[in-house]
Structure 1
Amino acid sequence: MATTLHVDDGAGRAPALRLAPTVSARRAFGEIPPPALVLLGIISVQVGAALATHLFGTVGSLGTVSLRIFFAAAVLMLAWRPSPRLTRRTWAVIAGYGVTLGAMNLCFYLALARIPLGVAVTIEFLGPLAVALLGSRRWLDGLWALLAAGGVVLLMDAGGGGLDLVGILLALAAGTCWGVYILAGAALGRHTTAGNGLALGMAVAALMVVPFGIAQGGTALLRPWVLAAGLGVALMSSVIPYSLELEALRKIPPRVFGILMSLEPAVAALVGLVVLGESLHWPQWLAVLCVAAASVGASLKAKAER
């Protein structure tokens, strides 16, 4: 469970609403080229997702996502200390953002329990890609959409019945939420300042997700090693990549950032292979490349329109 295509991830992945890195961290980041920062952020998100799957056997997918969202919310609330004194309109925007964020993460982690990481991320990536192409009337953008659709067809065919249909539908639902999340994140940026809206939105997501996690994980959620692992997943999947991506965005245009983020489906497939031993067939690798190429094309379109 995150580019100009997904304004992460991921669990609260809005470049304009990142957790600000410390001064010492920024000095260290300053020595690293921006493309490397983006790549490290992508790897951190996907490794965090891969490590999260190891908690599934103890607290389930719902328990795992609740730990991630809870700890991410706690870190953000401590970092920003937002005031609850907001207008009703602002709270409505925050609530919509938080509910979308929670639904996106619930669907993605439920999908991870059924299909490989690389497949889940590739399908989910269709959400921000659709937003990037939304409203376009250029014939070239139609080709990018067809290329992405072809990638999905390849994923289905290559599964040979081995891919879980429910898992695919959950990944599509996560992608749909990701697309809505982009629009909600943009509205959040207009109505709140700095990371205050993100912190409150993450808290709303936690209120939504944690009851599901408690229902599935029960008292196992309170085991010390489970809490430590949940904190680690939150750091790997949220705090670290957000800081890395924010520093990269200080140095490179958003369109370049979007093109680099198009590597995410391929990185997810590689992490799934190395960390989880989830091997993909060559048609599935081709499908991943199709979606990544369509994402690059959409980002280049945004560059041409600027």
Structure 2
Amino acid sequence: MTDAQAASTPGPVARWLGTAQPEALFVLSAIAQYVGAVIAVGLFDQVEPQTVAWFRVMGAAAALLLVSRGWWSGWTRSQLAGIATFGVATAAMNIFFYLAIDRIDLGKGVTIEFIGPIAVAAATTRTGRNAVALAFAVAGVCVLGGVEIDDGNTAGLVFILLASAMWAAYIVIGSSVARVDRGVAGLGLGLAIGTVATTPIGAPWSGPVWVAPGLLALCLVVGVFSNAIGYGIDQFTMRRIPIRRFSLLLALLPVTAAIMGWLFLSQPPSPLDMGGIALVLVGVAVQERDEIERVEAVVRTDPA
């Protein structure tokens, strides 16, 4: 068995991720990402946000490559080019996002950042029902996030919009990386390349982290939760569903953020927030029904 074949042999966790409901995987991914985000925000008083993001990418790359078999071989030149582009886009997304949430509220930042996935979903919408599902999701996200930005927060808005653009790239390029089907090896290698590419942005302020083991551990743990677990789950999900559906289901992330804030941060959603959550869930339900009917139509026409 070659290294590439060994890497593609699924273990029990991979088999579970390959059969679990996509909605459940999105919620699990969101929980992991927001645990990492909460830890990261607590570090901003001691470490520059871009440096925390750099260590986040570094920690995730190390964790993913550690558990990946044969990640160093078996890639074609085009696959490596795609992996490198994906890794740099993902690292840039993380940096822009942390620079943004250092200036604006986490929940609002997550919701505004969702513009990227919305754009991808809109560009790949194929049916009237898809368009209806997208409209419900967009309306719900707008209600959850609001549209106001405090005066003087222009930099925060610019950073979150840049993160949003990188999120769109993450979806489109990441789908191609996931289809290579090498477990999380492509993700790990991409993040390693992204770490090297963003060294000039993150490394200059990293001195205090290297001499404080506890601080270094926390920075790397952020990467394990937010990227290794969160993005690792995304890779398995991308292999199973179209980009359009993946982009729409990402609307569950702001919903999950609102619920987690209610349960763990004493931030109960307002009646308007509850309405936004309901709109997103209706959009997801409409999309899910469309997917079920599509599968049933395929079965009817091809009973074998």
TM-score range normalised by the length of the shorter chain: 0.7 to 0.9
Contact 1:158–1:284 (8 Å) recurs in 2: no
Shift of 1:195: 3.1
Which one is further off, 170-179 or 222-231?
Answer: 170-179
Tell me the residue number matched to 1:73: 61
Query: Does the alignment pair 1:263 with 2:252?
Result: yes
Shift of 1:179: 1.9
Tell me the residue number matched to 1:193: 182
Gaps in structure 2 of 5+ consecutive residues: 1-6, 296-304
Cα separation, partners in 2 of 1:301 and 1:212, compared to 1, 3 Å: farther
Q: Secondary structure at the match of 1:193?
A: coil
Tell me the residue number matched to 2:301: none
Structure 1 residues 143-292: aligned runs within 5 Å = 143-151=132-140, 153-154=142-143, 159=148, 161=150, 164-190=153-179, 193-241=182-230, 262-272=251-261, 282-283=271-272, 286-287=275-276, 289-291=278-280
Tell me the residue number matched to 1:43: 31
Shift of 1:196: 2.9
Tell me the residue number matched to 1:64: 52
Which one is further off, 218-227 or 236-245?
Answer: 236-245
Tell me the residue number matched to 1:115: 104
Which residue of the other structure, out of 52, 55, 59, is the alignment partner of 2:40? 52
Query: Does the alignment pair 1:134 with 2:123?
Result: yes
Give the letter aligned to residue 50 of structure 1: V
Give the letter aligned to residue 173 of structure 1: L
Q: How many residues align?
A: 287
Q: State the structure with more CA Rg.
A: 2
Contact 1:118–1:266 (8 Å) recurs in 2: no
Contact 2:175–2:238 (8 Å) recurs in 1: no
Contact 1:71–1:230 (8 Å) recurs in 2: yes
Contact 2:248–2:284 (8 Å) recurs in 1: yes
Distance in 2 between residues matched to 1:217 and 1:179, nearest whole Å:
29
Distance in 1 between residues matched to 2:16 and 2:175, nearest whole Å:
30
Which residue of the other structure, out of 65, 70, 83, is the alignment partner of 2:72? 83
Distance in 2 between residues matched to 1:150 and 1:240, nearest whole Å:
29
| TM-score (normalizing by structure 1) | 0.72
Contact 1:126–1:175 (8 Å) recurs in 2: yes
Distance in 2 between residues matched to 1:87 and 1:244, nearest whole Å:
24
Which one is further off, 190-199 or 45-54?
Answer: 190-199
Give the letter aligned to residue 70 of structure 1: M
RMSD over aligned Cα atoms:
4.3
Give the letter aligned to residue 51 of structure 1: I
Distance in 2 between residues matched to 1:138 and 1:33, nearest whole Å:
23
Contact 1:147–1:291 (8 Å) recurs in 2: yes
Distance in 1 between residues matched to 2:95 and 2:238, nearest whole Å:
28
| TM-score (normalizing by structure 2) | 0.72
Contact 1:272–1:279 (8 Å) recurs in 2: yes
Deviations 1:238-288 (A, max 9, x none): 334467778999999999998876432122123345555667655455445
Give the letter aligned to residue 78 of structure 2: R
Cα separation, partners in 2 of 1:87 and 1:139, compared to 1, 3 Å: closer
Which one is further off, 262-271 or 247-256?
Answer: 247-256
Contact 2:96–2:162 (8 Å) recurs in 1: yes
Distance in 1 between residues matched to 2:288 and 2:15, nearest whole Å:
29
Contact 1:62–1:217 (8 Å) recurs in 2: no
Distance in 2 between residues matched to 1:188 and 1:34, nearest whole Å:
18
Shift of 1:214: 2.0
Which one is further off, 70-79 or 266-275?
Answer: 266-275
Shift of 1:72: 0.7
Deviations 1:175-223 (A, max 9, x none): 3222221221222245573333222111111112343222234333541
Which one is further off, 81-90 or 117-126?
Answer: 81-90
Gaps in structure 1 of 5+ consecutive residues: 1-18
Query: Does the alignment pair 1:101 with 2:90?
Result: yes
Q: Secondary structure at the match of 1:271?
A: helix
Contact 1:258–1:296 (8 Å) recurs in 2: no
Contact 1:65–1:209 (8 Å) recurs in 2: no
Which one is further off, 48-57 or 166-175?
Answer: 166-175
Query: Does the alignment pair 1:124 with 2:104?
Result: no
